[in-house]
Amino acid sequence: MKIEYDKDLTGLTTFKVPAKAAIYAEYDSERELLALSRTPEFMENEFLHIGSGSNLLFLAPFKGIVLHSGIKGISKYQKDDETIYVMAGAGEKWTDLVDWCIDNGIAGLENMAGIPGEVGASAVQNVGAYGAEAGDFIHSVECFDVVARKKVLLKRDECHFKYRDSIFKHEAKGQLIVMRVSYRLRPGTNAHNLEYAPLREFAEKLGRIPTTRELADEVVRLRDSKLPNPAIIGSAGSFFKNPEISSYYFQEEIKARGIDIPYHPSSEEGKVKLSGAWLIDHCGLKGFRVGGAEVWPKQPLVIANTGFATGSDVAQLAEHICKNVKKEFFIELNPEVNYIDTRIKVTVLGSGTSKGVPEIGCLCRTCQSEDPKDKRLRASILVETHGLRILIDASPDLRQQALREGLRRLDAILLTHQHYDHVGGIDDVRPFCFERDLPVYANPQTAKDLRNRVDYCFREHPYPGVPKLDLHELECRPFRLEGLEITPIEVMHGKLPIYGYRIGDFAYVTDAKTISDMEKDKLRDLDVLILNCLRVEQPHFAHLILYEALALIEELKPKRAYLTHGSHGLGRHEEVAKLLPPGVEYAYDGEVIMIE
């Protein structure tokens, strides 16, 4: 086991953009991994597990510990004349495994020759190319559970393999570390999978079925003709996934507009898969650059580092591509690459109370103010971190907020409680549900209310186009969203228990009146706290007022605090700001708060 500090990771990723980690550790065995999991470096920090760094884009230094597997070894077991099981350590190079199988007369993986990365990533990412995916051949995955600190074995069906997706990118992220992967292959030297058109053409030129070695060599030749050599030019291979959309949306929205885009049925029922390269090419983006990042002219799914690109260059170019494809073809592209960014960006979508400000029909000074900071939509925020975009509360003003911020993608929604000013915009998430059911997290009472409020979303055969929600009932304990730890905090909204949420060193609490000492402990050592404050003086049975909010902030001592959920009774923004102590600000709609 080897532990290093302030580690430069630039040479450990195929993108070759500047990257650093506070701590870096390598291990060579299950025993070393177990020992590592008991060290302060591991227990006191967020961890990120990497292979050869072929699918990572670092946007900022990683503040936690980066792990790398050195578990090696390849072995085989022949069950019968039709089946051979091959097991490989997660730290083996994928190309070495493919070559080993071919050299030992084992067929199945040859279509995936030349893919950069390590064996562990084949299970995590469900890598694939030229008509084959690793998940088609994986028999089981041996993992280390960092919570239970023991070995667990997942069978293929338990891995939930989908297109470039698996359980290791969602529920198991941050909990299971892949140690070994077992593949169910077959003996033989003849290739079998010739479904991909260029491979059929290759076989036709040969006039026979190619051997596994011949097919692998052809696959590598095809890859080299399209993709930059990662030893010379930094890239992550295909940056974007080929988009998969519902057959209904494809027929009613894409074909109906006369867009003649190449497609074929997805492996997932009711969906079609489109060519992402075609979409980017037909936006005229081949060769387009941002800083040192370029859309690769030979394969527009690839973003290349021309030699001096930063992570920000790559991310900005990716965003430019996505915007243009969305504008031209009404389709959202999603990265295949994982963005590594522990910073937290919070956008205040709305900072007002249930009536908003100005209130309808009110002629008070606050409601008649011309200051944009006194125009407060109903309370919600957008949290962006670790490559995720998380909405906290879907206010009735969500449509207006999303349009103002140019929001095109959501990964999840966290609901604080069931009151209408916090869930009334749930129907407006329809545009974010075309690719998958949108995860929504709430306490049991809020989940029950939501099922009644928008029951049409949860019917067995919903009307086409309604929001598709994947509703999760939370207990008041930490949970993981694609590896990101989120801690619910129970606060009392009068007599109603509701949730606030803590993400890293940031917490959001709205509609609170009292908080127990046990829940207050979850709010200590914060960089930023956003806390509700209804008005200045007149007490309220269910909301904090100014002196109560300031007293709580003084008790919890966050480095910075922001007040939200203000009514017109809180007063004008510029006047309230003068009443606040150092380190406390009055949030406003559209404000962006960064937590480094």
CA–CA dist 223, 293 (Å, integer): 20
Burial class (CB in 10 A: 0-12, 13-18, 19+), 341: buried
- Asked whether 385 and 346 are in contact (CB, 8 A), the reply is no
Burial class (CB in 10 A: 0-12, 13-18, 19+), 331: buried
- Residue 37, phi then psi, degrees to nearest 5: -65, -15
Q: Which of 118, 156, 164, 482 is catalytic?
A: 164
- Asked whether 273 and 243 are in contact (CB, 8 A), the reply is yes
- Asked whether 137 and 108 are in contact (CB, 8 A), the reply is yes
CA–CA dist 393, 39 (Å, integer): 38
- Asked whether 356 and 73 are in contact (CB, 8 A), the reply is no
Active site residue 238: yes
Pairing of β 412-414 and β 20-27: unpaired
Give, as one character, the DSSP assignment of residue 546: H
Amino acid at 16: K
CA–CA dist 449, 423 (Å, integer): 10
Please enumerate, as own/partner, the contacts of 258-261 that have beta carbons within 8 Å and a separation of 24 or more.
Answer: 259/329, 261/329
Q: Which of 238, 351, 369, 380 is catalytic?
A: 238
**Which residues on adjacent β-strands are paired with residue 28?**
none
- Asked whether 99 and 91 are in contact (CB, 8 A), the reply is no
Pairing of β 176-187 and β 138-145: antiparallel
With the CA atoms of 567, 573, 577 and 580 taken in that order, what torsion angle do they form, in degrees rounded to the nearest 10? 0
Angle CA(576)–CA(578)–CA(580) in degrees, nearest 5? 80
Identify the H or E element spanning 422: helix 420-423
Identify the H or E element spanning 502: strand 496-503
Tokens standing for residue 257? 């507009």
CA–CA dist 329, 336 (Å, integer): 20
Q: Which of 110, 142, 244, 336 is catalytic?
A: 336
Can you give the length of the chain in residues? 596
Residue (of 145, 169, 167) closest to 155 by Cα position = 167
**Which residues on adjacent β-strands are paired with residue 265?**
272
Amino acid at 490: E
Identify the H or E element spanning 440: strand 438-442
| Chain Cα centroid distance, residue 472 | 17
Alpha helices by DSSP H, listed for 178-274, are 197-206, 212-226, 247-249
CA–CA dist 465, 458 (Å, integer): 13
- Asked whether 141 and 159 are in contact (CB, 8 A), the reply is yes
The 10 Å Cβ neighbour count of residue 220 is 15
Active site residue 164: yes
Catalytic residues: 164, 238, 336
